[in-house]
Amino acid sequence: MPSFTAIPHGRYLMLLMVPFLAECVYLAFDVYDRKDWILENVLVVLALVALIVSYRKFPLSRISYTLIFIFLAVHEIGSHYTYAEVPYDQWFISLTGDSFNELVGWQRNNFDRVVHFSYGLLLAYPMREIYLRIADAEGFWGYFLPLDFTMSTSMLYELIEWAAAEIFGGELGIAYLGTQGDVWDAHKDMGLASLGALAAMLLTLALNRIIQRDFAREWANSLRIKHKLPLGEDEIIRLLKEKPNNQPKPPANGG
C-alpha cells in the first residue's frame, strides 16, 4: 500500500472524492427540508467543480485536500438535517446515556457553531497555500491573509444567508438562516470562524517556527518597506507621465 506522500495529488483528490460522493448520495435521501438542502449544496457543487477543474494545473497539497473534504463532509450532515436540527445530542445519548448539551452547558443546537468554527480551522490552511503559491505571500502576510480571508468570507456568507432569507422568506428562509432565535447568531458565527482560522494559523506558525530555518529572515523581510515612494496621487501623476504618446510622429524628412 503506497504511503500518504507517494500518492499522486490528482489520484489522492479522486480517492477523497469517492467516499464524499457516496456520503452525498446517502444523505440526499429523506432530507429534512429539500429546498434548504438544495440551497446548502450550491456552494458545495461550485467547490467540487473548482477542485476538479484546477487539479491538473494547480494541484493542492494532500493536507489541503484532506482538510477541505473533512469540512465538506461535515457540511453535508448539516444540509441533510438543516443545521438547527442535526440530532447530535440524541446520538450522544444513545452512545453514552448522557446529554452532550447538558454536559457542556449548551442551551441550543450548536452544530452550526461547530461548523462555522471548523470553516476557519480547516480551510485557513488551504487558503494559506493558495496565497503562498499565487500571491507569493510570505512571512507575516502568509498567516494574516488567510485569517483575513476567513473573516471577510464569513461576513459575505452571512450576507448571502440574509439575502436568501429575504428572497425566499417563510420556513425556507428560517431554515437557511438557522438563527434559532439568537439575534447575535451571525456575529457569533463570524467570530467562531475567525477563531478557528486564528487557531489554524497559530498552529502553522508554531510548526514553521520550529522546522523552517529561515523563519526569522522571511518574517522580517515580509515587513520590510519595498517601495519608499508614496502612491496615491503621486503614482497617478507618474503613470500619466509614462503614458505613451499615441499621436503619429511626423516623417523624419518632413514628408
State the DSSP string of 29-58: SS-S-HHHHHHHHHHHHHHHHHHHHHTTTS
Whole-model pTM: value is 0.85
pLDDT at 186: 81
pLDDT in tens, 187-216: 888 999 999 999 999 999 999 999 999 999
The average pLDDT across 50-61 equals 94
pLDDT at 187: 85
What's the pLDDT band for 2 if we cut at 50, 70, 90?
A: low
Percentages (nearest 5) of helix, strand, coil residues in the chain = 75, 0, 25
What's the pLDDT band for 254 if we cut at 50, 70, 90?
A: very low
Sequence-separated (6 or more) residues with CB below 8 Å from residue 204: 125, 128, 143
Cell numbers of 201, please? 494559523
Sequence-separated (6 or more) residues with CB below 8 Å from residue 92: 98, 99, 100
pLDDT at 171: 63
**Most confidently predicted of 9-18, 156-165, 224-233, 243-252:** 9-18
Question: CA nearest 175: which of 23, 44, 40?
Answer: 40
Higher pLDDT, 182 or 96: 96
pLDDT at 255: 42
Taking 90 as the threshold, does the pLDDT of residue 250 lie above it?
no
* Arithmetic mean of pLDDT over the chain: 88
Nearest-angstrom CA–CA distance, 181 and 52: 39
Ranges of each domain in the chain:
7-241
Q: What are the distances in angstroms from CA 253 to CA 217, 248, 249? A: 59, 14, 11
Nearest-angstrom CA–CA distance, 170 and 97: 36
pLDDT at 165: 73
Nearest-angstrom CA–CA distance, 145 and 124: 9
Higher pLDDT, 76 or 39: 76
Nearest-angstrom CA–CA distance, 108 and 182: 10
Question: Is the Cβ–Cβ distance between 84 and 33 less than 8 Å?
Answer: no
What's the pLDDT band for 251 if we cut at 50, 70, 90?
A: low
The average pLDDT across 210-237 equals 91
What's the pLDDT band for 93 if we cut at 50, 70, 90?
A: very high
First to last CA, the chain: 79
pLDDT at 87: 94
Question: CA nearest 79: which of 42, 132, 49, 118?
Answer: 42
The average pLDDT across 225-246 equals 85
Question: Is the Cβ–Cβ distance between 146 and 128 less than 8 Å?
Answer: yes
